[in-house]
């Protein structure tokens, strides 16, 4: 009897808050936040090689700091690498939405950046967007079992409702194109600046979308932590919201007992982590979101 092979994967997404020189009330400088953030990433990935870490609001020096921190115990041969570019010039300027991965496990076969605007091939913004916004797209192949996966990471505009709406449409078109109309598994991570009842989320999970919120695929007993993913820095009356998501693609839906299956994917667990502990320091104004999934 043939045994069905499953490839277990951990997905982690976190808006780490860019390294500002003028912090908000309750916010510490990056030099204070960095070791706490790196410890979070190290702890939640140390026992899982098949892992992707998707970050938002990452300036180039922050990316260097994080990779140095994750790789410091591995000598000359780095364990972790990344794909992605700075949004302002397609190189190192401005915020990245990088995807971190382990090259010993995953072979990077394609990497590209799409600007979420009317001119998606060039650094630009459109409609009512306050800032330039990007979608990082990568295709990986697992070196052992040869399964392919499309990884996507984004950060939508915090000001423009129309720009979020149009960006979601661009992302869906990219998902269809790069996944070969759903034949390749896709996960999409990011800060959407859109709550579940708002425009971008509604487009991403609508009737004409192949994507579904991982949170909704996991039963309550397999969830851990907070509900809200944005907390602020504890000052100024900022209301907590759920705006950071992990989405999975497919066109099928069944229920195999403890977990819910959607096409290529088996959703195993979902968590929203804490971003402040006893020392009172927020590692970011967002909380990390983690999903444990499997490819079948």
| Percent of the chain at pLDDT exceeding 90 | 86
Residue 138, judged by CB atoms within 10 A of its CB (0-12, 13-18, 19+), counts as buried
Q: What is the pLDDT of residue 263?
A: 73
Distances (CA, A) of 93 to 34, 109, 122, 129, 141: 20, 24, 14, 18, 29
Residue 176: pLDDT band with limits 50, 70, 90: very high
C-alpha distance from residue 151 to each of 44, 51, 121, 137 (Å): 19, 11, 19, 6
Is residue 261 scored above 80 in pLDDT? Answer: no
Q: Are 113 and 95 in contact (CB under 8 A)?
A: no
The arithmetic mean of pLDDT across residues 188-202, rounded, is 98
Of the pLDDT bands very low, low, confident and very high (cuts 50, 70, 90), residue 4 is low
SS3 labels along the chain: CCCCCCEEEEEEEEECCCCCCCCCCCCCCHHHHHHHHHHHHHHCCCCCCCEEEEEECECHHHHHHHHHHHHCCCCCCCCCEEECCCCCCCCCCCCECCEEECCCCEEEEEEEEEECCCCCCCCCCCCCCCCCCEEEEEEEEECCCCCEEEEEEEECCCCCHHHHHHHHHHHHHHHHHHCCCCCCCEEEEEECCCCCCCHHHHHHCCCCCCEEEHHHHCCHHHEEECCCCECCCCCCCCCCECCEEEEEECCCCECCCCCEEECCEEEEEEEECCCECCCCCECCCECCEEEEEEEC
Please report the pLDDT score of residue 74 as a whole number: 65
pLDDT digits (tens, 9 = 90+) for 116-135: 999 999 999 999 999 999 99
Calculate mean pLDDT across residues 290-295. 97
Q: Is residue 10 pLDDT above 70, yes or no?
A: yes
pLDDT for residue 254 is more than 50: no
pLDDT digits (tens, 9 = 90+) for 134-167: 999 999 999 999 999 999 999 999 999 999 999 9
Is pLDDT larger for residue 27 or for residue 255?
27
């Amino acid at each position: 009897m043939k045994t069905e092979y499953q490839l277990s994967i951990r997905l982690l997404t976190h808006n780490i808050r860019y390294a500002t020189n003028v912090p908000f009330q309750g916010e510490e400088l990056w030099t204070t936040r960095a070791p706490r953030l790196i410890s979070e990433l190290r702890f939640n990935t140390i026992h899982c090689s098949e892992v992707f870490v998707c970050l938002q609001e990452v300036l180039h020096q922050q990316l260097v700091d994080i990779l140095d921190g994750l790789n410091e115990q591995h000598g000359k041969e780095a364990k972790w690498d990344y794909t992605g570019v700075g949004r302002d010039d397609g190189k190192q300027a401005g915020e990245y939405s990088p995807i971190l991965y382990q090259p010993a496990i995953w072979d990077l076969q394609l990497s590209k950046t799409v600007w979420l605007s009317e001119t998606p091939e060039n650094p630009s913004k459109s409609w009512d967007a306050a800032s330039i916004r990007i979608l990082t797209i990568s295709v990986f192949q697992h070196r052992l079992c040869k399964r392919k996966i499309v990884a996507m990471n984004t950060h939508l505009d915090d000001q423009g409702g129309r720009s979020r709406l149009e960006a979601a449409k661009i992302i869906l078109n990219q998902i269809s194109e790069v996944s070969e109309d759903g034949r390749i598994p896709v996960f999409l991570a990011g800060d959407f600046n859109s709550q579940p009842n708002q425009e971008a989320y509604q487009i991403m999970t609508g009737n004409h979308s192949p994507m579904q919120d991982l949170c909704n695929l996991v039963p309550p007993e397999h969830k851990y932590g907070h509900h809200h993913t944005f907390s602020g820095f504890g000052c100024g009356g900022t209301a907590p919201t759920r705006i950071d998501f992990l989405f999975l693609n497919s066109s099928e839906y069944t229920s195999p007992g403890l977990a819910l299956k959607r096409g290529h994917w088996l959703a195993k667990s979902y968590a929203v982590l804490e971003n402040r502990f006893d020392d009172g320091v927020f590692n970011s104004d967002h909380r990390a979101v983690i999903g444990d999934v499997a490819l079948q």
